[in-house]
């Protein structure tokens, strides 16, 4: 089982990182949600994106995947600049999941993953109506590939279940399978373990390692620090839309500013800070989730 | 459907044991009463006045009672092996309710037609009493758990036999209904059909039929086509019903095309009739009518293709700017487009622009089609049965409808169909997963327009003349109502909806004045009790019942079966 496409062979042009975001800035009117954030992701790397609520993590994700058009800055995948259109981004090889699960609830697990294959298939209306040889071949391949991906994420038994009938943890897995179906070089996971118990969280990190081992790069947004620090090769911490620090988990973990951003400094500004960081900003992030 | 008049559990527990004999007694009374005379007046409602010579309505009552007996015997008695599959209590519940409605309406019909309650004979009262007793008995029965009908396997020949019997019933039922001159008898016949349908649906036998039809898809399609093909042969060369049938087929083809736009892609299009009209105008102007304004006279199949491509292009031109808006906005824009089309046709009369359409006069005297030496206007005979003008067009339109259904079905089950479902479910997520949202919407819009163009080109010849006032907004609304009533995104449902909406006003003349009022009421009632339509698409049903977890669990298997193909 491999997840890499023919395009991404293991002859790395080490000079060009897989994903390179330069000075991405996103303003909504007077509010600067993301300010000059740069990020590089190398092939086969797991990068963690952390930060308190409202730090702009999901907004940054939306800028990367074309759901938002960044006010400034640019995003390159394998050295090619990405247009701010979700479909073009998927086609170029970057797929994502959503913070609040956005599966096609009334489709079966298999169908959900088959929809993910849409951009890698090309049967048009006429061959579909005539049931031409191309249609038959592609349909069989799509089905086989979707089943293979369901097996890969551990949902091989749930093929025929409706997405809305599946348990929460499995829905998260299904969303990952759907993203993998687009043959990405890089997957962006937005809080893949939100609301999971410790067992499910451990299974999720095993799955992410498995994806990495099959040759893909992964970017993860998370709040669970233990999860992030055991999983990631590098961690980027965002605070109020700006990069606080990028580094190995050890470096980030021991940086006093990260602790301060999460817990507060304990000085007079304390109340003001937590007020900012939680209530006001949390609602801002909610809005960003539904672009 | 809610259970009407639920009795308190205490009474059910106390008298529950009496329900079975009570039901049999009720059924026996209905049969006995039906054998006697129902009315003094032999001239109304077929002849119901002769004892021991039951007329049409009395035969229907007997059939309902016999069905009740079968259900009761399946519950307790010689047919219990059938009873373990079917929920006899629910089936009898539906049957008894509608039998009561049937008998009550018979009393009303006799009273109205013969001019007074005095004309109702004792036989009718006995049958009504029987229906009431049957109804009471059905209230006392308790629903029992049944085995999973997916496991109910009959030998292959038996399944095919069931399909043949149902199809034959459909053919002769339709022929019978169409030949009924009396509006009351037709309505009562529809109540009878509803009673049979409700009892089979509620007993769960319909879901068994659904499994059979999935297993025997090929045979079922063949049988439906054969039945539709045989229909003109039952009319004995008469054109009265065949002209209605031809109109129903045109309407159904257009509704099925609109079903791609509304049912599959989920776009609300209120101007669809304009595409049918555009096709008709192309068909008319390229015909050999003396009033046609364009000199080019290609063979008919070229005209059909030209008309279809013309309307598809029109669809693309209209769709490209408008499909960027959603929902209600799209509905308003398409509504406006429909009006623009009609007014344009109205005004291209030489005074306000080039003389293309002769304005309000339209293009009359469109000649009949001919393929080689086969002229559609002549009467031909098949197996000694004469087939007149409308029967000839009927066969052509049947081919068209078959083609439209083929396009609908194949698109629905392809990658494109999956894309449409994804767009309906969550447009943003679909876009983020690489689905070409705009392209797929445009495809639905122009495919729908293409099919309407084909139907329009044929319609021009069937109707002989094309005028702007045939393509008003109301027609778009009726097409949409047929889809909503029948069941969005389904084939059978939209066919049923089209037949109901087109056939009833033609057959029930007295009701034609109130048809808008009645259809409006019908739609309101549907929205309240069954928003997914008479024949529900499984997925649409789920979309309409987001909160219903039981439903989701129940239909999961059906959807998986459909996906597996």
| Distance of residue A81 Cα from the nearest chain B Cα, in angstroms | 18
Say whether both A31 and A137 belong to one domain: no
CATH of residue A38: 3.40.50.300
What ipTM score was computed for the predicted complex, to two decimals?
Answer: 0.84
- Pairwise CA distance, residues B524 & B529, whole Å: 9
Q: Is the pLDDT of residue A137 over 90?
A: yes
10 Å CB burial of residue B463 (0-12, 13-18, 19+) is buried
pLDDT greater than 80 at residue A103: yes
Q: Does B435 touch chain A (CB under 8 A)?
A: yes
How far is the alpha carbon of B406 from chain A, nearest alpha carbon, in Å? Answer: 7
Look at B429 and A104 and tell me if their CB atoms are within 8 Å: yes
Closest CA to A104 of A36, A30, A171, A21: A171
Question: From A119, which residue of chain B is nearest by alpha-carbon distance?
Answer: B434
Q: Can you read off the two tokens belonging to residue A217?
A: 């790069």
- CB A179 to CB B563 under 8 A? no
B70-96 mean pLDDT: 83
Instruction: pLDDT band for A265, please (50, 70, 90 cuts).
Output: low
Q: Measured between alpha carbons, how far is residue A146 from residues A152, A178, B440 in Å?
A: 10, 8, 22
Cβ neighbours of B539 in A, within 8 Å: 106-107
Interface of B with A in 447-476 (CB under 8 A): 447
- To the question of domain B239-514 being in CATH 1.10.1740, the answer is no
Is B181 an interface residue toward A (CB < 8 Å)?
Answer: no
Q: Look at residue A194 and tell me if it is in a domain.
A: yes
pTM, two decimals, is: 0.86
> How many CA atoms, within 13 angstroms, populate the side-chain half-sphere of residue B2?
5
Same domain, yes or no, for A177 and A189?
Answer: no
**Rounded to whole angstroms, how far apart are CA atoms A140 and A56?**
41
Which one, of B95, B52, B51, B50, lies nearest residue B72 by Cα?
B95
User: Could you tell me which of A224, A144, A159, A167 has the C-alpha nearest to residue A192?
Assistant: A224
In a shared domain, residues A89 and A188: yes
Of B316, B357, B57, residue with least CA distance to B184 = B57
pLDDT surpasses 80 at B192: yes
CB B454 within 8 A of CB B304: yes
Instruction: Check CB contact under 8 Å for A118 and B406.
Output: no
Structure tokens at B31: 């049969």
Cβ B422–A86 below 8 Å, yes or no?
no
The length of chain A is 291
Residue ending a domain, among A181, A204, A229, is A181
The pLDDT assigned to A162 comes to 92
- Is A8 contained in some domain? no
A22-26, B5-9, B94-98, B234-238: segment of lowest average pLDDT = B5-9
Residues of chain A neighbouring B428 (CB-CB closer than 8 A): 67, 102, 290-291
Cα(A224)–Cα(A211) distance, rounded to whole angstroms? 20
Distance (Å, whole) CA B394 – CA B372: 18
Confidence tier at A11 by pLDDT (50, 70, 90) = very low
B285-316: b or e for each residue (b if 16 or more CB lie within 10 Å)?
bbbebebbbeeeeeebeebbebbbbbbbebbe
Domain co-membership, A82 together with A204: yes
- Whether A173 is in a domain gets the answer yes
Q: Classify residue A70: in a domain, yes or no.
A: yes
Does a structural domain hold residue A13? no
Say if B545 is an interface residue toward chain A (CB within 8 Å): no
User: What domain count does chain A have?
Assistant: 2
Same domain (yes/no): A120, A82:
no
Q: How far apart are CA B272 and CA B269, in angstroms?
A: 6
Residues A172 and A193 in one domain: no
* Probe site for chain A from B417, B430, B434 (most A CB atoms < 10 A): B434
Q: Are A128 and B410 within 8 A, CB to CB? A: yes
Q: Does B563 touch chain A (CB under 8 A)?
A: yes
Instruction: Using the predicted structure, report yes or no on whether residue B455 has a pLDDT greater than 60.
Output: yes
Question: CB contacts < 8 Å between A and B, how many?
Answer: 126
Task: Give the per-residue pLDDT at B380.
Answer: 80
* Residue of chain B with shortest Cα separation from A138: B415
Q: Is residue A5 part of a domain?
A: no
- Residues of chain B in contact with residue A105, where contact means CB-CB under 8 angstroms, are 425, 542
Residue A197 placed within a domain: yes
Q: Which of A156, A181, A206 is the last residue of a domain?
A: A181
Q: Let me know whether A212 and A277 are in one domain.
A: yes
Q: Which residues of A touch B150 (CB under 8 A)?
A: none
Which of B407, B553, B559 is nearest residue A129 as measured by Cβ atoms? B407
The pLDDT tens digits for B281-321 are: 999 999 888 888 888 888 999 999 999 999 999 999 988 98
- Closest alpha carbon within chain B to A92: B434
Query: Which pair of structure tokens corresponds to residue A210?
Result: 């498995």
Question: Is B543 in CB contact (< 8 Å) with chain A?
Answer: yes
Reference B349, options B357, B340, B337; nearest CA is B357
Instruction: Find the mean pLDDT for residues B378-404.
Output: 88
**Lowest mean pLDDT segment, chosen from A139-143, B213-217, B283-287, B331-335:** B213-217
Alpha carbon distance, N-terminus to C-terminus of chain B: 30
Same-domain status, A25 and A168: no
Find chain B residues with C-beta within 8 A of A164's C-beta: 542, 552
pLDDT for A285: 42
Confidence check: pLDDT of A185 > 50: yes
Are A106 and B431 within 8 A, CB to CB?
A: no
Angle at B159 between CA B158 and CA B165, to 5 degrees: 85
In a domain, A126, yes or no: yes
**Cα A75 versus chain centre, distance:** 15
Beta strands A31-41 and A19-28 are: antiparallel
Distance CA B62, CA B27 (A): 8
Same domain, A174 and A269: no
Contact list in A for residue B434 (CB cut-off 8 A) is 86-87, 90-91, 95, 116, 118-120, 182
Ordered by start, the domain boundaries in chain B are 9-230, 239-514
Contact B410 A105 (CB under 8 A): no
**Minimum CA–CA partner of A166 in chain B:** B553
User: Exposed, middle or buried by CB within 10 Å (0-12, 13-18, 19+), for B373?
Assistant: exposed
Give me the pLDDT at residue A92, please: 92
Positive or negative: CA dihedral A269, A273, A274, A275: positive
pLDDT at residue A276 above 70?
no
**The domain containing residue A222 runs over which residues?**
19-93+184-289
Task: Look at residue B5 in the predicted model and tell me its pLDDT.
Answer: 62
Kindly indicate the confidence band of residue A7, based on its pLDDT and cuts at 50, 70 and 90. very low
């Amino acid at each position: 089982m491999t997840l890499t496409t023919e395009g991404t062979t293991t002859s790395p042009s080490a000079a060009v990182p897989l994903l390179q975001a330069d000075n991405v800035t996103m303003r909504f009117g007077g509010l600067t949600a993301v300010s000059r954030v740069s990020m590089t992701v190398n092939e086969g790397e797991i990068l963690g994106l952390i930060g308190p609520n409202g730090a702009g993590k999901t907004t940054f994700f939306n800028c990367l995947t074309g759901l938002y058009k960044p006010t400034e800055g640019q995003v390159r995948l394998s050295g090619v600049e990405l247009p701010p259109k979700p479909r073009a981004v998927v086609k170029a090889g970057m797929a994502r999941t959503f913070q609040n699960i956005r599966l096609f609830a009334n489709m079966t697990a298999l169908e959900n993953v088959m929809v993910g294959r849409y951009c890698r298939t090309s049967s048009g209306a006429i061959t579909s109506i005539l049931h031409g040889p191309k249609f038959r071949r592609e349909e069989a391949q799509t089905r086989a590939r979707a089943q293979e991906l369901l097996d890969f994420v551990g949902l091989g038994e749930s093929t025929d279940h409706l997405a809305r009938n599946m348990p929460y943890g499995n829905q998260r897995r299904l969303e990952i399978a759907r993203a993998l179906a687009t043959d990405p070089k890089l997957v962006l996971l937005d809080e893949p373990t939100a609301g999971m118990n410790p067992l499910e969280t451990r299974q999720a990190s095993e799955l992410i390692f498995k994806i990495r081992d099959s040759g893909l790069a992964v970017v993860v947004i998370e709040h669970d620090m233990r999860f992030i620090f055991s999983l990631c090769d590098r961690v980027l911490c965002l605070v109020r839309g700006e990069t606080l620090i990028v580094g190995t988990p050890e470096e980030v973990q021991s940086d006093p500013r990260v602790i301060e951003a999460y817990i507060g400094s304990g000085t007079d500004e304390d109340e003001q800070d937590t007020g900012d960081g939680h209530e006001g900003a949390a609602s801002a992030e909610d809005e960003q989730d539904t672009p | 459907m809610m259970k009407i008049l639920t009795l308190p559990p205490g009474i059910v527990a106390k008298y529950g044991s009496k329900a079975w004999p009570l039901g049999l007694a009720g059924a026996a009374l209905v049969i006995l009463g039906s054998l006697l005379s129902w009315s003094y007046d032999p001239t109304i409602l077929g002849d119901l006045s002769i004892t021991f010579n039951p007329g049409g309505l009395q035969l229907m009552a007997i059939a309902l009672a016999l069905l009740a007996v079968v259900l009761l015997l399946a519950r307790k008695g010689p047919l219990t092996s059938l009873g373990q599959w079917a929920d006899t209590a629910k089936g009898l519940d539906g049957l008894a309710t509608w039998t009561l409605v049937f008998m009550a309406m018979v009393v009303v019909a006799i009273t109205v037609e013969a001019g007074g309650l005095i004309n109702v004979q004792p036989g009718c009262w006995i049958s009504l009493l029987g229906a009431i007793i049957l109804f009471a008995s059905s209230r006392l029965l308790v629903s029992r758990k049944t085995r999973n009908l997916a496991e109910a396997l009959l030998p292959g020949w038996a399944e095919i036999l069931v399909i043949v019997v149902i199809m034959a019933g459909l053919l002769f039922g339709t022929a019978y209904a169409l030949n009924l001159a009396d509006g009351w008898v037709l309505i009562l016949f529809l109540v009878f059909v509803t009673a049979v349908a409700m009892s089979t649906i509620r007993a769960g036998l319909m879901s068994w039929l659904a499994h059979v039809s999935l297993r025997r898809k090929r045979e079922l399609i063949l049988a439906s086509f054969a039945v539709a093909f045989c229909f003109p042969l039952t009319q004995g060369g008469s054109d009265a019903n065949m002209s209605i049938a031809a109109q129903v087929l045109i309407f159904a083809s257009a509704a099925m095309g609109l079903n791609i736009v509304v049912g599959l892609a989920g776009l609300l299009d209120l101007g669809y009739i304009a595409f049918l009209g555009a096709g008709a105008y192309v068909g008319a102007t390229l015909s050999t009518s003396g009033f046609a304004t364009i000199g080019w006279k290609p063979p008919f199949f070229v005209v059909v293709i030209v008309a279809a491509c013309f309307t598809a292009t029109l669809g693309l031109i209209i769709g490209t700017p408008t499909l960027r808006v959603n929902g209600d906005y799209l509905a308003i824009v398409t509504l406006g487009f429909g009006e623009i089309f009609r007014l344009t046709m109205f005004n291209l009369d030489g005074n306000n622009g080039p003389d293309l359409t002769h304005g309000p006069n339209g293009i009359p005297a469109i000649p009949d089609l001919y393929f080689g030496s086969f002229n559609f206007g002549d009467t031909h005979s098949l197996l000694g049965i004469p087939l007149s003008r409308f029967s000839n067009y009927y066969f052509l339109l049947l081919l068209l409808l078959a083609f439209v259904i083929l396009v609908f079905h194949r698109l629905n089950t392809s990658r494109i169909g999956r894309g449409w479902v994804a767009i309906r479910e969550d447009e943003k997520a679909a876009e983020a997963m690489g689905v070409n949202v705009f392209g797929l919407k445009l495809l639905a819009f122009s495919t729908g327009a293409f099919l309407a163009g084909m139907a329009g080109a044929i319609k021009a010849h069937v109707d002989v003349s094309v005028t702007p006032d045939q393509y008003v907004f109301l027609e778009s609304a009726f097409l949409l109502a047929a889809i909503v009533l029948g069941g969005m995104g389904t084939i059978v449902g939209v066919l049923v909806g089209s037949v109901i909406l087109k056939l009833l006003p033609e057959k029930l003349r007295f009701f034609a004045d109130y048809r808008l009022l009645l259809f409006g009421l019908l739609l309101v009632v549907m929205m309240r009790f069954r928003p997914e339509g008479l024949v529900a698409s499984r997925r649409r049903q789920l979309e309409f019942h987001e909160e219903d977890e039981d439903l989701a669990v129940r239909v999961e298997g059906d959807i998986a079966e459909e996906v597996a193909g």
